[in-house]
Amino acid sequence: MSQENVEVVREHFEATNRGDYAFAVGQYADDVELVLPPGDLLSGTYSGREAVSGFFADWFRAFGGSQHFDLREIRGVGDAVVVVAHHEARGRRSGAAISAEFFYSYWLSDGKIRRVLFHASRDDALEAVGLRE
């Protein structure tokens, strides 16, 4: 199952990169949950497809659709997937370029994304799914 889950997450990022948000949102389970760590500027928990897709829509609007994710690492273990993604974008208003690494863990069931956690580091993301290096 883990390779199938990896492909779902990979397709999710590919759809986002090409601006096919309807496809990306369609990969969320109805009861999907997004968790951003405490201390993060946007920390909190977003529950349900509408809330999660709304969070990402607001984030992407800030970049005027210029965002791009380069998957540096994607690993599946059981029903979970760890992603290390390099994110580049330009501020919609300022034009300022941003470049950052993001660390995620995803949990899936029945081919749908059920939970997404943002992490402060790759090690934190790996640990969240029971992996250590």
What CATH number has the domain bearing residue 31? 3.10.450.50
Low pLDDT (below 50) residues in the chain: none
- Is 128 inside a domain boundary? no
Question: The whole model's pTM is what?
Answer: 0.90
Residue 108 and residue 27 in contact, taking contact as beta carbons nearer than 8 Å: no
Report d(CA 133, CA 115) in Å as an integer: 23
Q: What does the pLDDT read at residue 37?
A: 84
What's the pLDDT score for residue 44? Answer: 86
Mean pLDDT of the residues in the chain? 89
108, β-bridge pairs:
113
**Is residue 129 in some structural domain?**
no
Structurally, the chain folds into a number of domains equal to: 1
123 lies in some domain: no
Identify the domain containing residue 20 by its residue range. Answer: 2-113
* String of DSSP letters for 15-64: HHHTT-HHHHHHTEEEEEEEEE-TTSTT-EEEESHHHHHHHHHHHHHTTT
